[in-house]
Structure 1
């Protein structure tokens, strides 16, 4: 077969590919498409995603774990009642652990209010709690005398700082990106029927065809036939 010009081949290949894509659009099952849209809308109606719920659960764990360590510290240092009065009523910044518990309460209230109640989709709330917690814990470690009071002088500040930065990492790298991806996917699925409606239906295979190729010897045979007929005409 004679090779077709490159421009003609590109046009034919483009026509065939566009025809295939159009057939794929028309072959979408409307029932499956509506089921996917309803599933995404059902997730939106829940009000809070699974990954955000996990984040709120971890924030609650942060508060409970720091509270547990603080209660253990109260019991170790001479009984809960006496130590509680010493740390809360007679609060001393240089020797009390109560401000570390207060930071945990502050973090949990701000984060639950921002990301569970208000359903915030921004990082400013977690940035605020992380900055305040890190600054106060650093000042506490430098200025206080906690290291002279046993192991809890090391454990409580370190655990509180680690939990704070885990919350920041989880929200910034898990919660917000996944929710943005889910929202974009929902918009694409909802826009699929509209894009399909703009494409005219009833396209047949006959509308896109390739011209049949000619044989390599066809031109030569035509020339030979004309040459053989010339003597007969001259006679």
Structure 2
């Protein structure tokens, strides 16, 4: 016999795979499908995923922690009122910590606006804040005289730098991949439920039976003896 053409083999293979997938979809319990869909839709109705909420909490922690360190620095170096006037009113790039606090405010506003209010699903906002933070801190450490002002000259720039890069890592490796995976699962479950709804209910084994043969039919089927 001649072998089947290549296109016919591909057609048969595709048909077999489609029938197999339909059998798999039909084997899924419809109750489980509806429960999964409702769970995913419930997450969408919350407006923000759990991992994104954790990210926003960490961004808030970034602002509060830098603010706390700055207030401690103000209180240590001669009282809050005098030091605040010196660092804010008489701002000096080479000796003031006020710009590091403003940098934390900048990160907080951009990231909360992008990933909590606008629910952005891209990395450009976190890339902007991290790039600005890194460039500014590197320039300030090189040009300023913070190291001659005690331990806070080391602590505030290092903490701000580390927090900015932790936010970048958390968004890029946790928030965006996990949300994309959840969305893909939702699409797969919805597609499976739609295909299962198009398939008629499976027939049970009891619907296929052979009626018992009568005695007369059994006699007809028996071979006759030839004399």
TM-score normalised by length of structure 1: 0.76
Cα distance change of structure 1 residues 18 and 153 upon mapping to structure 2, 3 Å threshold: closer
Q: Distance in 1 between matches of 2:34 and 2:170?
A: 33
Which residue pairs with 1:30 in the alignment? 30
Residue 204 of structure 1 and its aligned partner are, at CA, apart by: 7.5
Q: Which moved more, 1:130-139 or 1:190-199?
A: 190-199
Which residue pairs with 2:61 in the alignment? 61
Cα distance change of structure 1 residues 204 and 16 upon mapping to structure 2, 3 Å threshold: farther
Cα distance change of structure 1 residues 91 and 19 upon mapping to structure 2, 3 Å threshold: closer
Paired residue secondary structure (1:109):
helix
Q: Distance in 2 between matches of 1:122 and 1:33?
A: 30
Which residue pairs with 2:46 in the alignment? 46
Cα distance change of structure 1 residues 179 and 19 upon mapping to structure 2, 3 Å threshold: closer
Paired residue secondary structure (1:162):
helix
Tell me, yes or no, if structure 1 residue 86 matches structure 2 residue 86. Answer: yes
Paired residue secondary structure (1:122):
coil
Residue 31 of structure 1 and its aligned partner are, at CA, apart by: 1.7
Which residue pairs with 2:129 in the alignment? 129
TM-score normalised by length of structure 2: 0.79
Residue 25 of structure 1 and its aligned partner are, at CA, apart by: 3.0
Q: Distance in 2 between matches of 1:20 and 1:184?
A: 21
Residue 130 of structure 1 and its aligned partner are, at CA, apart by: 0.3
Q: Distance in 2 between matches of 1:104 and 1:19?
A: 57
Residue 20 of structure 1 and its aligned partner are, at CA, apart by: 7.1
Q: Distance in 2 between matches of 1:67 and 1:49?
A: 27
Residue 23 of structure 1 and its aligned partner are, at CA, apart by: 4.6
Which residue pairs with 2:120 in the alignment? 120
Cα distance change of structure 1 residues 18 and 139 upon mapping to structure 2, 3 Å threshold: closer
Which residue pairs with 1:145 in the alignment? 145
Q: Distance in 2 between matches of 1:39 and 1:103?
A: 39
Which residue pairs with 1:166 in the alignment? 166
Which runs of 5 or more structure 1 residues have no equivalent in the other structure? 1-13, 206-235
Q: Which moved more, 1:60-69 or 1:190-199?
A: 190-199
Q: Distance in 1 between matches of 2:179 and 2:109?
A: 22
Which runs of 5 or more structure 2 residues have no equivalent in the other structure? 1-12, 206-227
Tell me, yes or no, if structure 1 residue 178 matches structure 2 residue 178. Answer: yes
